[in-house]
A and B are shown apart, each in its own frame.
Chain A
Amino acid sequence: MMPQDISRRRFLGQVNCAAISSLPILSTLLNLKLAGDAAAATSGTQDYKALVCLFMGGGMDTYNVLVPRGKSEYAEYSGARGAVALPQANLLPISPIGLSGMQLGVHPGFANLQSLFEAGQAAFVTNVGTLTEPLTKVQYNGTARHLPLGLYSHSDQQEQWQTSTPNARSSKGWAGKAADLLAGMNSKNKVSMNVSLSGQNIWQSGTNAFAYTVNTGGAVALDGYNSASTNATNPVTLRTKAVDSQLALNYQNLIAQGFNHSKGKAMEAFALFNTATAQTLPNEAAYPGTNLGRQLMRVAKTIAGRGALGHNRQTFFIEYGGWDHHDNLISSQARMIPEVDAAIKAFVDSLTALGLFNNVTLFTASDFARTLTTDSSGTDHAWGGNHFVVGGAVKGRKIYGNYPSLAVGGALDVGRGRIIPQIAVDSYFAEMALWLGVSRADLKLLLPNIGTFYAANSPSAPLGFLL
């Protein structure tokens, strides 16, 4: 195995776009491709899977999303949070399987999430965050251990929540690397299997893979350009021919080459994407009119168009920003969380109507959680936090991980209620990567540090919420 692993790593690290045709030389990739072709030939939904990343940009205060509700743990919570504590009576109760010794609730704006959770279609992963290795408070305060680079900094933590390499800067994310490996499962890759509603992002960038960025209206056409226009003196015909010629020219300057490359890619993808995703959803009218609602509607339409796109695997990225609540945390979350909740409800209903609820998993991510303590009406950048996953494949109504003590100065508090994560993002992501179809042997190509937290040959799942 060793030589093969090394060669594959080198392949992922060094290959450029021109070498994409060499993908099948790798045996595991070839097998994946054959499996994918077979799956594509049988049609139907049994081999379709998609991940939807809902990235809460700015650092969502997730200790007000999944909240202690029982008397003593609530007292600990409110003691730490002061003015930013949610009233105990307002929390929506949930009844996780296997949780003992405490009670939990969700933010009052998450009524639909509460229902999904109780129906076994959603789960929480608690106190998850970036780690280079398991860490105690004593080790944190010492100097021997390595901490994630740029801990508590937006840009670094957003990056690491997408790259899963907190010990190094990287411009590649694990969904991008997954697409490098899994693209062969798709019958077509003209439109990237990684679709973003929020522009380019690291999560979906790999060696070859990139984010196909669309907006809520779909993909963008080039105006005044029409290959079907034939009248030789019509300006549209002339413009079309000239634009094609410009795309075909060789450019000596690399920045010009890059520009030409981007434009050509955009034009090719447009034609396919908009045809493929034009169908109306069964519950289209039920989507909320928010931007997030429209974004998730576009995701659902793209999932519905998977056949025409030739996609058996897809990932979707939506960044919903504005969670950097240094001020007015309570009122801001009260406004924003119901938007998230309503959009997810409509999305879930679409998937159910399409018969694809078991094939799609939505998960949340964020820069970091926020300090338990407040500076007045807001909270500051912190570390480990709570996230949720939704989908028919999710082993729901469970809390994965141990909900931490929220006592200020508690065992995991490194100051101001910054909680050391007990689950590394690597494990959270590994679960989803394996579910999506990445092989155990390839896991470390996506998540270089996974071996520190999970043995790829382990008979058990990394966390168990999907596998």
Chain B
Amino acid sequence: MRNSPILSSAGLARRGSPFSCAPILALSSVLFAWFTVPLASSLRAASVLAAGTVISNITPSVLPPVTLSAQDPVSMILVDGDMRSDWPDPGVVAFRRENTKGASLVSFALSGSAVRNIDYTVSAGTASGGLLSAGSASASNPILLSNFVIIPDGKREVWMEFLPSSTVTSSTLNAAGNPSPKTITVSMLVSSIAWGKVSTTTSSVTLNLVPASGKPGRKAAVRFLNQAAFGPDGNLTNVDSVSALGFEGWIDAQMTRPVGTLQPYLVSLGTAVASAHKTTAWWNQVMNRSETADSLRQRVGFALSEIFVISDQFAPLAARPVAMANYYDMLLKGAFGNYRDLLYSVGTHPCMGTYLSHLQNAKGRPATATSSATFADENFAREIMQLFSIGLWQLNADGTRTLDAAGQPIPTYDNKTVGAMARVMTGFSFSGPKATSFYSAPENYTEPMRMWDAYHDLDAKVIISGPASNGITLPARAASKPDVGTAGLADYNAAIDALVQHPNTAPFFCKQLIQKLVTSNPSPQYVKRVADKFVDNGSKVRGDLKAVVKAILLDPEARDPKMMANSSFGKMKEPYLRSVNLAHALSAIAPSQNFPLSNLADIHFQQPLSAPSVFNFFKPGYVPEGPIGAAGLVAPEFQILNDVTALFIPNYHLRALQYGFNRSNPKDSADLVMPQLNTELALASDVPALLRRLDLVLMGGSLPNAQHQLIREAVQGIPTTLARWQDERIRMAIYLIVASPDYAVLR
């Protein structure tokens, strides 16, 4: 056994351990007197202290006085027993007593196949200031000696953290051919010392330390699925699938899966179809947990629907749910296609034509004796540039703004460009066999719009003409005869090409997708690495979204677990997706297999295809007041976290746990979407085991120790004499984890 401390701070820092501050020693002279005989040799052996402090010559004079505790029973709790050498999440054991007055000394022994200071290191921590349930805060820290740990005055618990070494190897293989786990067994010893009496209920626990296998472990897989999908399923099937295939293998498999479209469900309802059904169809797809579930496509498709926004807040679209589902399906299909095809399709979809009013947008005409002049509608022309492709400001390849000599950002285009682009966007109307004229074509919302040269502005135009770049001139064109829209489409194609080729498009689009999937404040380097893949997927193809999605999710900034300890990394989970994640983790299902959850918009200030405007529910650059804004960071999702949603959402979750995810009881009880909590119910009497299960499926094992302690105390506080105590306990545990800031943040 080596005594030289080799503590890494990575695992500690992200649990908010007090050891990031200078440790304050708290041994009393009285205590020290007790130590002199039994512990003198340990002290002289330079035992490990917090944050790597080595004590070689303790003298009573450096230690503040501590009153020794009465004979408190101390119990041992396994907080987290899953460790992997490729994941810096420590195993955690808590030593707990019910009183907080005076200090307690706990004597332990470590055994098992893993070797301390080679396979893992040990440190100790306790709740830092503010943990109300642990008694008054104290400046004292626990002191960890080689075989003793001291619970300081004022503290109820001390946590021992076991940080895995990154180089654990094992010579034996398990049935799957992977190296067998090593074990750490912590045994509490009945001390000969008069205080710190050991409880007989739990006298030893065992942690597993798994050597790296080259494939992600469950904790890593949960974290990945929170970014790339809708989080882990309650039965962990998708988690184990990621572990088996690896991140890239899972992405590749997802990309070959059939598209889970929305439209067929709506069509199946015939004339009974209503606006709300498209939300049901959406939920049915994102909650698909079958062997063929296309979760990655659904997740990326949802992100795209928040960039290429259409909304049923616009009444003409609310009345056409099949059309909106068709639009959404187009985004799903395009999610792993090429950006150019996607942009082209977005612009020619009748829903977008209706939403941004370029459907039946005729070219302008000069004033006559009897009528005023008219002009091409500029709505779509403006937004396809501002929101869907190049943005308002010239960007560098890493997404930062290009600045002029005065340090000011440079506009990408001016209003003349918008006017020219508006003329490009003239001449579109419904298509189909009965579309015999521009104005009287019958509604056809499920096929792309067609072009009429007769209503298209055929004159020459200069597009993308702002100070950003050299103008691109579209020549005057001759109308096709018969009118099949050839000339107009040539303009449209040229405009789409110009936008796709614009240097802004790659960083503008990629940064937004990163913000939606991984982190609100990606580094410029991360943006550039992804944007470079947009520019060239490796095979000289521009706009390959498969390559972009892969680059986003496999980037070191997304995958490196060290980023979890970076205080500005991550994002708030979108409020609506927080509820979707919860439904996944709790295996929610209705007997009808449908998810008729269409009226949750005012709870979340969010609902698919229902943004207040083309600017989505929140803007990519939103800066909230409070600590985030003070640190100079953006946090887009905070635009819809306000004094209403901050409380409405936990209220909804509290209700969902007991009465189902429906806003109110459905007319047909077969539509009641209930969480399936059998796994949790079986653990109601073993609260630490219940929390370990929930920590994995809800938090990927990252629940901080202080949360673990306060939640355990609340859950354990529900007596087994209370009616339906098992239900009360699991609801309390889930509610408190999900209500915590740690759950709200994806990192």
**Which of B43-51, B209-217, B247-255, B372-380 sits within the interface?**
B372-380
Per-residue contact bits, chain A 56-67, to B (CB 8 Å; 1 contact, 0 not): 011000000000
The A-B contact count (CB < 8 A) is 236
> Hey, which chain B residues are within 8 Å of A17, CB to CB?
625-627, 630
Within 8 A of B (CB), among A16-67: 16-17, 57-58
Known contacts A154-B615, A250-B130; decide if A213 and B644 are in contact (CB<8 Å).
yes
| Interface membership of B60, Cβ < 8 A | no
Q: How far is the CA of A350 from the CA of B650 in the complex (A)?
A: 35
Within 8 A of B (CB), among A156-182: 156, 171
Which residues of A come within 8 Å of B, CB atoms? 16-17, 57-58, 79-82, 149-156, 171, 199-200, 205, 208, 210-215, 219-224, 232-233, 235, 238-239, 241-246, 248-263, 265-267, 269-270, 321, 326-327, 371, 373-376, 378, 380-381, 408, 416
| Interface membership of B572, Cβ < 8 A | yes
Known contacts A263-B646, A375-B377; decide if A254 and B567 are in contact (CB<8 Å).
yes
Known contacts A213-B642, A255-B572; decide if A375 and B375 are in contact (CB<8 Å).
yes
Per-residue contact bits, chain B 156-182, to A (CB 8 Å; 1 contact, 0 not): 000000000000000000000000000
Q: How far is the CA of A200 from the CA of B382 in the complex (A)?
A: 25
Top 9 closest pairs, chain A to chain B, by CB: A256-B741, A82-B372, A248-B130, A266-B646, A242-B714, A258-B628, A326-B357, A16-B630, A266-B643
| Interface membership of B392, Cβ < 8 A | yes
When the two chains form the complex, which single residue of B13, B571, B630, B655 contacts A255, counting CB atoms closer than 8 Å?
B571
**Which of B195-203, B543-551, B731-739 sits within the interface?**
B731-739
Q: Which of A150, A263, A371 has the most CB of B within 10 A?
A: A263
When the two chains form the complex, which single residue of B128, B361, B615, B650 contacts A250, counting CB atoms closer than 8 Å?
B128
Q: Are the C-beta atoms of A243 and B739 separated by less than 8 Å?
A: yes
Nearest opposing residue in chain A for B614, CB measure: A154
Per-residue contact bits, chain B 688-726, to A (CB 8 Å; 1 contact, 0 not): 000000000000000010110011011101110010000
When the two chains form the complex, which single residue of B626, B732, B742 contacts A235, counting CB atoms closer than 8 Å?
B732
Q: Are the C-beta atoms of B133 and A245 separated by less than 8 Å?
A: yes
Q: Are the C-beta atoms of A220 and B386 separated by less than 8 Å?
A: no
Q: Are the C-beta atoms of B375 and A224 separated by less than 8 Å?
A: no
A-B contacts, 12 of them at CB < 8 A, read: A199-B605, A214-B644, A220-B647, A248-B130, A249-B130, A251-B16, A254-B627, A259-B744, A321-B612, A326-B377, A375-B362, A408-B373
Q: How far is the CA of A383 from the CA of B128 in the complex (A)?
A: 56
> Hey, which chain A residues are within 8 Å of B379, CB to CB?
326, 380-381
Which residues of B come within 8 Å of A, CB atoms? 13-14, 16, 128-133, 357, 361-362, 364, 367, 371-379, 382, 386, 392, 411, 415, 418, 520, 565, 567-572, 602, 605, 612-615, 619, 622-631, 633, 635, 638-644, 646-648, 650-651, 654-655, 704, 706-707, 710-711, 713-715, 717-719, 722, 728, 732, 735-736, 739-742, 744-745, 747
Q: Are the C-beta atoms of A253 and B641 separated by less than 8 Å?
A: no
> Hey, which chain B residues are within 8 Å of A205, CB to CB?
625
Known contacts A150-B392, A375-B374; decide if A258 and B647 are in contact (CB<8 Å).
no
Q: A215-B602, A255-B570 are in contact. List 20 more A-B contacts (CB 8 A).
A: A58-B613, A153-B386, A155-B619, A156-B392, A199-B605, A200-B624, A233-B717, A233-B722, A239-B732, A250-B128, A254-B567, A255-B745, A258-B626, A259-B572, A262-B641, A373-B375, A375-B374, A376-B362, A380-B375, A408-B367
Q: Are the C-beta atoms of A149 and B630 separated by less than 8 Å?
A: no
Q: Which of B374, B623, B707 has the most CB of A within 10 A?
A: B374
> Hey, which chain A residues are within 8 Å of B714, CB to CB?
238-239, 241-242
Known contacts A239-B736, A250-B128, A375-B374; decide if A255 and B520 are in contact (CB<8 Å).
yes
Q: How far is the CA of A219 from the CA of B647 in the complex (A)?
A: 10
Rounded to whole Å, the gap between the CB of B689 and the closest CB of chain A is 19
Q: Are the C-beta atoms of B736 and A246 separated by less than 8 Å?
A: yes
Q: How far is the CA of A58 from the CA of B641 in the complex (A)?
A: 23
When the two chains form the complex, which single residue of B361, B378, B572, B647 contacts A267, counting CB atoms closer than 8 Å?
B647
> Hey, which chain A residues are within 8 Å of B392, CB to CB?
149-150, 153, 156
When the two chains form the complex, which single residue of A82, A220, A253 contacts B648, counting CB atoms closer than 8 Å?
A220
Rounded to whole Å, the gap between the CB of A390 and the closest CB of chain B is 26
Rounded to whole Å, the gap between the CB of B366 and the closest CB of chain A is 11
Rounded to whole Å, the gap between the CB of A347 and the closest CB of chain B is 22
Q: Are the C-beta atoms of B739 and A253 separated by less than 8 Å?
A: no
Q: Are the C-beta atoms of A242 and B710 separated by less than 8 Å?
A: yes
Known contacts A246-B741, A256-B745, A326-B377; decide if A241 and B641 are in contact (CB<8 Å).
no
> Hey, which chain B residues are within 8 Å of A245, CB to CB?
130-133, 710
Q: How far is the CA of A211 from the CA of B567 in the complex (A)?
A: 26
Q: Are the C-beta atoms of A256 and B375 separated by less than 8 Å?
A: no
Rounded to whole Å, the gap between the CB of B337 and the closest CB of chain A is 28
Q: How far is the CA of A220 from the CA of B622 in the complex (A)?
A: 24
Rounded to whole Å, the gap between the CB of A24 and the closest CB of chain B is 21
> Hey, which chain B residues are within 8 Å of A81, CB to CB?
372
Q: Which of A58, A153, A211, A378 has the most CB of B within 10 A?
A: A153
> Hey, which chain B residues are within 8 Å of A253, CB to CB?
567-570, 741, 745, 747
Rounded to whole Å, the gap between the CB of A47 and the closest CB of chain B is 27
